[in-house]
Amino acid sequence: MAAMEYSKFKSLLRRVIVIPMVATATLAGLLLWETFDLNRSLQWVDHTDQILDQSGHLLMLMIDMESGTRGFVATGDESFLKTYLQGAARSDSEFKVLYQQLNDNPQQRKRLSDIQTGYGEWETYANRIIALRRAGQADPTLYENQQGKRTMDALRAQISEFQTTEEELRAARVQAAHLRWGLMVISCLGLGLGFGIFLAWFTRYHVEKLGTRLLQSEERWTATLGSIGEAVIATDSEGRISFLNPIAAVLTGWQLEEALEQPIGNVLKLINEESGMTADNEVLRVLNEKKTFSVANHVDLVTRDGREIPVEHSAAPILAGEGKVIGVVLVFRDVAERRQEQIATRQQAALLELTQDAVFVIDLEGKIHFWSRGAEVMFGYSKSYAIGNIAHELLCAEFPQPLAEIRAELMQAGHWEGDLLKTTRGGKQIVVSGRWALQSGKRDQGPRILVISSDITERKRAEELLVLQKEQLRALAERLQTVREDDRKRVARDLHDQIGQILTSIKMDLTWMTRHLPKSEDAMLARLTESIQSINDGVKSVRNICSGLRPGVLDDLGLAAAIEWQASEFASRNGIRCEVTVPPIDLHLDGDRATATFRIFQECLTNVIRHANAKSVRVTLCHEEENILMVVEDDGIGFCETDMSNTHGSLGLLGMRERAQFCGGGVQISSSKGKGTIVTVRVPVDISRAERNESCKS
């Protein structure tokens, strides 16, 4: 019966292994095919990206050539032709690379051919203008004639159309790749789910079928093997073996068929180191005394091949009706591993003497009972001197909390860790990292405490130095911010006062010339009018540069007016509605904090343009107890705050926090995908520099 059940179990095991392997191979093949197909789609997308990059390089090359030609014609300086000559030398190779990339797209190759033809026309025209300028026959405004402008505008339009076509093709290829990915995921999930359901049903059916038969067999042997610990051997009343389980067969080296009817002394050779009794003597003792006995230690089992194994064993009589002894059952187990653990424990105790950390054992009163070699080296006290002393008195220990609290925590949690200040025998104070562990005492002893101390004096010094360096870096950063703002203010003032005055003076002179020239000088009057307009544009550019470097409204009218002005400029330039709420009376902030708050606001608007894709922005500036509160809220796409915390934020967000900390304030950012972003800035109205530095440390 057992052989038949075992063969059925092997058949079931074979089917359970083979069928999942076949299904897994099929699933892997399908996944591999889908992966190859997806990889081809992604390669086409990458190919389109390369074409877009190459066309962008070509466009930038033409723009650089055009700029160089303009500079040369306007000034006659040959250095301006460097970009033009380099571009002319590279143009053929750039077109050749793009032609090679478009081998699979005849329509785009046709557009590229038209672009190259237009480029040739423009290059011919540019060479002619350059030659005339070198001969001194070309007017600096000759480059602005309509022929050259129309040619270059047409080239830009053709390249834009070319890139638009490629972007549409890329979008289609990306969509195809997404579709293939979705199909691959759905097919794998479907097959995996079906495979799992089939395997669960298949395994459950066969295991339940075989388990019923095994359970019936197990129930027949429960009464006999109920007392089995590890290995078991049963004998008859004459001491001959009647049963031997597999574990006993492994330990003794005898199989059941070979051991049956053998005297117990031939199979189970047990030698008691203390009494010298063998297994024969123990069986006879049980048969005579009709009681159970056990031997826990100092017993070795001699196996059939002569090996000796330390064991623990017990022997009990098998009683029939009316208390008649019909045999003996012997239960034994291998304790070699336990003995190895005991040896390892003794070795570990010896290793404590070799560790560089100070290891000692104290009782609940602090009395020292063990003192390692590492403790002798660290504290300078010998073992004979230290044992018996109170540890915290001997070492003049300074605890981070009252000793009573440490003992209470130790009794509750079983361990305690902390840094302590201790004094060596030579009077030197050191910082140690203490790790205390509570150990249960023996019958005649109370609980003991294992104390491990590591010298961290140098590490503490390094940490203090690191904190000092961090403070110095923050102070340097604050100084650099101040210097940069001062430089911006100075440059903006110089541009406004000097360059602005120069441009205004030139404009006045040209206006005077316009009024005093005869009206018959039409060409000269037109040229002067264009020059005056150029000067007006220059004055406007200087004004914009000055406002960007240091808006005068911030120094003249205060923070509230500067925020209103910046919001208006932002809305007019970017077409994003900006709603501003500020108090009617200006907020009284010193120059540094007003500048920092204004720069944080500018960085918020920059992030809205770069990342938010928002349609409107709301700005609120008000008093909040002793702080100035500024809230900037947009309705953009938002982001996941965990992403920002995992990457430590962008440099812009880091700069915002640093500026706020320099002022003794803080920045709080809250956002979620699809729900916009809210930036809350708090700056103290009045705070000393010492308090500001303390805020930076925290």
Q: For residue 291, give Cα distances in angstroms to 132, 231, 285.
A: 127, 20, 9
pLDDT tens, residue by residue, 110-145? 887 888 788 888 888 888 888 887 877 655 555 455
Highest-scoring range by mean pLDDT, 75-79, 417-421, 671-675:
417-421
Nearest to residue 177, comparing CAs of 56, 50, 47, 55? 47
Residue 697 has pLDDT above 50, yes or no: no
Nearest to residue 397, comparing CAs of 356, 358, 354, 447? 358
Percent over 70 (pLDDT), the chain: 72
Sequence-ordered strand ranges (E) for 534-648: 577-581, 616-624, 627-634
Average pLDDT over all residues of the chain: 75
- For 308: left if phi > 0, alpha if psi spans -120 to 50, otherwise beta; the answer is beta
Percent over 90 (pLDDT), the chain: 1
Query: Residue 215 has what pLDDT?
Result: 61
Q: What is the mean pLDDT of residues 27-36?
A: 72
Amino acid, single-letter form, for residue 136: G
Query: Residue 686 has what pLDDT?
Result: 66
324 confidence band (pLDDT: 50, 70, 90): confident
Q: Rounded CA gap, 126 and 171, in Å?
A: 37
Token pair, residue 300, equals 């070795």
Q: What is the mean pLDDT of residues 179-192?
A: 75
Under 8 Å between Cβ of 162 and 112: yes
Query: Residue 696 has what pLDDT?
Result: 42
Query: Residue 73 has what pLDDT?
Result: 75
Which tops the pLDDT comparison, 354 or 153?
A: 153
Residue 488 has pLDDT above 80, yes or no: no
Q: Rounded CA gap, 31 and 25, in Å?
A: 10
Burial of 607 from C-beta contacts in 10 A (0-12 / 13-18 / 19+) = buried
474 confidence band (pLDDT: 50, 70, 90): low
Q: Rounded CA gap, 430 and 419, in Å?
A: 10
- What pTM was computed for the model? 0.35
580: helix, strand or coil: strand
Sign of the four-CA dihedral 283, 288, 292, 297: negative
Residue 42 has pLDDT above 70, yes or no: yes
pLDDT tens, residue by residue, 526-567? 777 778 788 777 777 766 676 565 565 666 677 788 888 888
β-pair partners for 398:
421
Dihedral pair phi/psi, residue 399, rounded to 5°: -90, 155
Highest-scoring range by mean pLDDT, 98-107, 195-204, 306-315:
98-107
Q: Rounded CA gap, 192 and 34, in Å?
A: 15
Q: What is the mean pLDDT of residues 392-418?
A: 88
97 confidence band (pLDDT: 50, 70, 90): confident
Query: Residue 691 has what pLDDT?
Result: 47
Strands 231-236 and 241-244: antiparallel
Under 8 Å between Cβ of 676 and 635: yes
